[in-house]
Amino acid sequence: MKSLTYNRLTQTVKSQTDTVWFGEVDFSKEAAQHGQEIDEAVLLLFGGPAPGGVAMAEFPAIGLDAFCQKLLVYADKNGGSITIFNDIAALAELHYGRTAKPHQALSERLTATFEQALK
């Protein structure tokens, strides 16, 4: 069973006209197929090729998250959900020692998108 958080996030992301839904990886389902039981955990894969491409132009390693963003939604011990993602501006700092406006813009947009979905 997918959580309300999962449903809201996927619906919000899929409703964006400039965003491509690449898919998802259901970690709990995959683990179960190999005899392991874990709490619900799903990795959502999506991105905006246009803004992601701009962010990658001088910073190719940002492609790890800018072109195809990864968002992990997993169950917490109290029956809720936790949502985490990598901040693209922080990744630029990590890999290149600097960041650029497109990275900051993508980070702001992702944060706003996720906040909208989780209201």
Q: How confident is the model at residue 3 (pLDDT cuts 50, 70, 90)?
A: confident
Residues 6+ apart with CB under 8 A from 72: 41, 42, 43, 44, 83, 84, 85
CA atoms within 13 A on the CB side of 119: 5
Domains in the chain: ranges and CATH: 4-117 (3.30.310.70)
In the chain, DSSP assigns E strands to 20-26, 41-47, 69-75, 81-85
Distance separating alpha carbons of residues 42 and 28, to the nearest angstrom:
7
Residue pLDDT, tens place only, 42-93: 999 998 888 888 888 889 988 888 788 899 999 888 888 899 998 989 989 9
Strands 69-75 and 81-85: antiparallel
pTM for the model stands at: 0.84
